[in-house]
Amino acid sequence: MKKIILFLSVVGVLMFSATAAHAQLSVGAGYDYAKFSLRDGEGGKEPSDALNGFYVGVDYNVRIWKGLGIAPGVQYEFTDGTVDKESDIKFQEHYLNIPIDINYYFRLGSLFGIGVSLTPSFNIGLASELRQPGAGSMDLYDIWNEIGLGEAGESLGVENPYGRFDFMLGVGLSVDLFKHIRVKARYDFGLVNRVSAIGDLDPDLAGAVKLNRNRLQVGVAYVF
C-alpha cells in the first residue's frame, strides 16, 4: 500500500512539473467597446449607443496537448458613454470578469504565433450608474431605494430588475510577436437577459423584454 501511495505521489509531482513547464502567465490591458441590444415582445430590436472604456487583466495559460490550452483569468472592466444625447444621460459600468480562454496556438517559428480561442466568461457587475447633469445619478443595482420605494420594492419578490450577473461566450484571435508580446482581439456575445426579473413583477412581461450586452475587446498582453 505504501509503495502504491509513493508511486501515485511521484506521478502527481511529475504531472504537475510537466504542466508547470508548459504554463504561461500573461498580464494585459486594452480597449473595451460594449453595446446593449434591446428586444421587445413584438420582435422589434433597438440597439443602444456604444459604451467605450478599458480593461486590465491577468491569465494563466496551461498547455494541455500540443497547441491546445486553457487559460483561466481575472479581469477588471470599465465602460462609459452617453445613452441619451437629447437629455445628455450618461451610463457608466464597472465589472469583475472571470474569463476561461480555451485556445489553440499555431507556432510560426520560434518568435511568432497565431492563436484562436473560444471563451466563456462569467461577469459580475460592481457598479452601474446613470448620470444626468443637474439631476444627479442613479445606481441601477439599488434601484428601489433610488426611486424611493425602499423595502416596498423588495417585498415584491424582485431584488433588482437590472441583473448584476452576466455570462458571455466569445470568439477571439491573437498574434504572438517576439515570444513575449501578444496582440489580442475578442468579441463576446451576452447570453443573459439582464432584465429577466421584470417577469417576476408582471408575469405578462416574462420574456417580453430582453436586454443583452455584447462586447469587443482589443488589447496587448505581456507573456512571461
Q: What is the DSSP letter of 160?
A: -
Range from 14-28, 118-132, 209-223 carrying the lowest mean pLDDT: 14-28
Instruction: Please give the residue that has the higher pLDDT: either 76 or 130.
Output: 76
Distance of alpha carbon 2 from alpha carbon 41, whole angstroms = 66
| Mean pLDDT (whole number) for 79-93 | 86
- Which residue type sits at 213? R
| CA torsion angle 110 170 25 127 (round to 10) | 150
H or E element at residue 198: helix 198-201
| Mean pLDDT (whole number) for 45-59 | 86
- Which residue type sits at 160? N
- Say if residue 18's pLDDT is above 90: no
* Mean confidence (pLDDT) of the chain: 83
- Which residue type sits at 104? Y
| Mean pLDDT (whole number) for 67-91 | 90
Angle at 47 between CA 43 and CA 53, to 5 degrees: 150
- Say if residue 123's pLDDT is above 60: yes
pTM value is 0.81
Q: Which residues contact 159 (CB under 8 A, 6 or more apart)?
A: 197
pLDDT tens digit sequence for 19-30: 445 688 999 999
- Say if residue 39's pLDDT is above 80: no
Residue among 61, 80, 56 nearest 72 (CA): 61
pLDDT at 191: 96
Distance of alpha carbon 77 from alpha carbon 166, whole angstroms = 13
| Mean pLDDT (whole number) for 121-136 | 90
Distance of alpha carbon 104 from alpha carbon 6, whole angstroms = 35
- Which residue type sits at 219? G
Answer positive or negative: Cα dihedral of 200, 48, 185, 140.
negative
| Mean pLDDT (whole number) for 133-142 | 82
Range from 1-10, 55-64, 179-188 carrying the lowest mean pLDDT: 1-10
* Strand, coil or helix: 152: helix
Q: Which residues contact 167 (CB under 8 A, 6 or more apart)?
A: 120, 121, 122, 123, 190, 191, 192
| Mean pLDDT (whole number) for 183-191 | 97
pLDDT at 148: 53
Using only C-alpha atoms, the chain has a radius of gyration, in whole angstroms, of 22
| Mean pLDDT (whole number) for 137-143 | 83
- Say if residue 57's pLDDT is above 70: yes
